[in-house]
């Protein structure tokens, strides 16, 4: 099998004043290339924390994380950033759209940041699939919550990443 995400013995705690909250405890996980994985659990069970670590947005306190062949801890900040831009699309729980940019620019933003030219035909295709092509010159606040979420999904797909991490709740 072709493993794309692997975690071994991952733990993560958050410090809240004097209190320590353990979000993940000794977690093992693998996902194969092309696999579709859904993670379910009650609110506060660590789903968002898991996705942030898988997306290299946060570090685990303990354990190891591989994206493809690369172990995250061995990468420099720069290498990690490059890997994230090329390989990972993230749909944030609260969408995190940029209010001062149009839908089109929001979707293309990961490419602008990586100094890449958008594949305009492909961006049109994903906006059409999301039912948002006619709304491309509108602004996030003019869209419904569900439409905003679809913009966030389209944005996660814009750079054609190998991995899409979607934090839906």
Ligand X SMILES: Nc1ncnc2c1ncn2[C@@H]1O[C@H](COP(=O)(O)OP(=O)(O)O)[C@@H](O)[C@H]1O
Task: List interacting residues with ligand X (CB under 6 A).
Answer: 14, 16, 21, 23, 41, 43-49
Whose Cβ is closer to ligand X: residue 47's or residue 150's?
Answer: 47
Query: Residue 14 or 122: which CB sits closer to ligand X?
Result: 14
Q: Which of ligand X, Mg ion, none does 111 bind, CB closer than 5 to 8 A by kind?
A: none
- Selection from ligand X, Mg ion, none that 41 binds (CB < 5 to 8 A by kind) is ligand X
Give the total residue count for the chain: 169
Computed from CA positions of residues 38, 107, 86, 53, in that sequence, does the dihedral angle turn out positive or negative? Answer: negative
Q: Is 86 helix (H, G, I), strand (E, B) or coil?
A: helix
The least CB distance from residue 121 to ligand X, in Å, is: 35
User: 């100094």: which residue's tokens?
Assistant: 115
Beta carbon nearer to ligand X, 47 or 84: 47
Residue 135 DSSP symbol: G
Give start and end residues of each alpha helix (H) in the chain: 47-54, 77-87, 103-113, 120-129, 145-157
Q: For the segment 28-87, give every residue that binds Mg ion (CB under 5 A).
A: 47-48
User: Is residue 47 a contact partner of residue 55, using CB atoms and an 8 Å limit?
Assistant: no
Q: Which does 40 bind (CB under 5 to 8 A by kind): ligand X, Mg ion, none?
A: none
In the bound state with ligand X, the residue whose beta carbon lies nearer, of 40 and 77, is 40
> In angstroms, what CA-CA distances link 54 with 14, 15, 134?
17, 20, 34
- Identify the DSSP state of 6: E
Q: Is residue 124 involved in binding Mg ion (CB under 5 A)? A: no
Shortest spacing between CB 37 and ligand X, in angstroms: 15
47 versus 155: smaller Cβ distance to ligand X:
47
Binding site for Mg ion (CB under 5 A): 47-48
């Amino acid at each position: 099998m072709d493993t794309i995400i692997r975690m071994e013995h991952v733990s993560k705690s958050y410090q809240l004043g004097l209190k320590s909250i353990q979000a993940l405890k000794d977690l093992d996980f693998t996902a194969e290339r092309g696999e579709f994985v859904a993670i379910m659990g009650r609110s506060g069970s660590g789903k968002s924390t898991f996705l942030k670590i898988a997306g290299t947005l946060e570090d685990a306190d303990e354990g190891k994380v591989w994206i493809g062949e690369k172990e995250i801890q061995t990468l420099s900040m720069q290498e990690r950033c490059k890997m994230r831009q090329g390989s990972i699309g993230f749909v944030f729980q609260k969408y995190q759209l940029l209010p001062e940019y149009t839908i089109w620019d929001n979707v293309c933003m990961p490419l602008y940041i990586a100094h890449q030219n958008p594949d305009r035909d492909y961006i049109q295709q994903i906006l059409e699939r999301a039912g948002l092509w006619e709304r491309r010159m509108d602004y996030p606040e003019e869209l419904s919550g569900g439409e905003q979420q679809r913009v966030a999904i389209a944005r996660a797909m814009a750079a054609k990443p190998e991995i899409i991490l979607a934090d839906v709740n």
